[in-house]
Amino acid sequence: MPNGGELRLTESGAGSNHYVADAGSDAVVDYSTGTTQYTLTATDKTSYVFDSAGKLLSRAWLDGDTWTYTYASGKLSTVADGNGRQLQFAYISNVGQFNNGLLWRVGDQDATGLATSCARWKLCRVHLCTG
């Protein structure tokens, strides 16, 4: 479901923890009772792992590339690609105000000062990797 959308799944057998998509998709979801995580394997065989709260934990492609998503205080804090590159996210801490908890800055693995205060709203640094 790379373009989003809705997918209806049905458990393949009582207690199997294996769910198959209705007609039109060959995506499947498997639930692990040990980790309490769900793994969605999409039609293109890309896999997505979610925790029991529905937060995306990782995405893996057939070529072996995997992105890992981590959270702090319920908000996305980093996205790492497994090759030493990552994006870091910083949020506004302004309790009681309209902007409290909004995304403030995005930086790469070399970014410094993401947690410092700043009078202006700005995108501090974005590092794009090619190749």
In this predicted model, what pLDDT tens digit does every residue of 13-67 receive, in sequence order?
Answer: 999 999 999 888 899 999 999 999 999 999 899 999 999 999 999 999 999 999 9
Phi-psi region of 53 (alpha: psi -120 to 50; beta: other; left: phi over 0): alpha
Q: Single out the residue of 37, 2, 40 nearest to residue 21, CA to CA.
A: 40
pLDDT in tens, 68-86: 999 999 999 999 998 889 9
